Chain A
């Protein structure tokens, strides 16, 4: 058996469909060809999903499955109902973004004190700095220009 033939037989070997003599030739080839042996081990990592007829019972559940199992049945049902209700709903994400934006804008707006005077009042009101300067300014200096 050559490498090409051996790799063609990965699937059949995994599914136990090889004839005894073909199976023996396959195993002998893997034993002597490290490249095909390595390729078979890579194949074995995905084969349980691709080439098994049924998944084994969940005796050793994955951590996420175990977490879900620890939840009370009512919570699991609610979670499932939630997933069903909101499955593939892009509008929900868009609405969440808009709500977040409105909340942020409102917070920014209300965090600043509202001015008590109108714009025209603010413009026409003489500033205190100007008064102080004019009050302290010596009279002699005013006459300098005359």
Chain B
């Protein structure tokens, strides 16, 4: 009887089993072990995909693709690195490929705001910091607008910012993951922030102009 099934039968929660053990079982042919692994990491993977794409269906598709790639490459996994970090590198690559495939033009993205988006922009200009935090959690348009703003970045720049600001990775870790020099990571992050700030100001001005009209 497979170990996972046995564990369930005797009432021992498989969630406490370390990733490495599940990987060994998956490599031995127990696909159940890999589905346990993917259940464990799904939420985090999907959240990371959502930092790149606003459409939840696309994020789900990409998360699925990342798990398939991870399964196919499982034999190449080495235990020196935590499984989560290894998986994150795969997810980032999948999202980066998708971003590059889409190749959006910045000028298409800033302008033409919906009413809820304009409302959110107005709130960003006038509300207190505490109100902003609370409202952002409730309003879907805060996410949509943030994605539109981030879509103006080059895929490489967006990737660096997601890893640095959102995943809170260090420059050395990012450099290792992407195979870049540390200087390149720093320069990319610096430039990305500059671009983002300019685009955000442009967006706010465009929003103000629409409100005045």
**Chain A contacts to B: CB under 8 angstroms:** 11, 13-14, 16, 27, 30, 40-42, 44-65, 68, 80, 84, 87-88
With a CB–CB cut-off of 8 A, which chain A residues contact B203? Answer: 45
Interface of A is mostly: helix
With a CB–CB cut-off of 8 A, which chain A residues contact B47? Answer: 53-54
With a CB–CB cut-off of 8 A, which chain B residues contact A61? Answer: 140
* B97 with A88: CB separation less than 8 A: yes
* B200 with A42: CB separation less than 8 A: yes
Residue among B140, B147, B197 making CB contact with A58, cutoff 8 Å: B140
Closest chain-A Cβ to B206's Cβ sits at a distance in Å of: 13
Closest chain-B Cβ to A98's Cβ sits at a distance in Å of: 21
Closest chain-A Cβ to B189's Cβ sits at a distance in Å of: 13
With a CB–CB cut-off of 8 A, which chain B residues contact A65? Answer: 55
B117-154 CB mask vs A (1 if < 8 Å, else 0) is 00000001100011011001111111111110110000
A44 CA / B56 CA spacing, docked (Å): 21
Q: A53-B47, A60-B139 are in contact. Are A46 and B149 (CB under 8 A)?
A: yes
A53 CA / B46 CA spacing, docked (Å): 11
Closest chain-B Cβ to A19's Cβ sits at a distance in Å of: 15
* B145 with A45: CB separation less than 8 A: yes
User: A61-B140, A64-B55 provided; 20 other pairs, C-beta below 8 A?
Assistant: A27-B129, A30-B129, A41-B132, A42-B196, A44-B129, A45-B146, A45-B203, A49-B146, A49-B150, A50-B161, A50-B166, A51-B165, A53-B47, A55-B56, A56-B143, A60-B116, A60-B139, A60-B140, A62-B144, A63-B114
Residue among B101, B136, B139, B141 making CB contact with A47, cutoff 8 Å: B136
Instruction: Supply 27 A–B pairs (Cβ within 8 Å), ascending by A.
Output: A41-B124, A42-B200, A44-B124, A45-B146, A45-B200, A45-B203, A45-B204, A47-B146, A48-B136, A49-B146, A50-B51, A50-B165, A50-B166, A51-B165, A52-B137, A52-B143, A55-B143, A56-B138, A56-B139, A56-B140, A57-B140, A60-B116, A60-B139, A60-B140, A62-B140, A63-B114, A87-B101
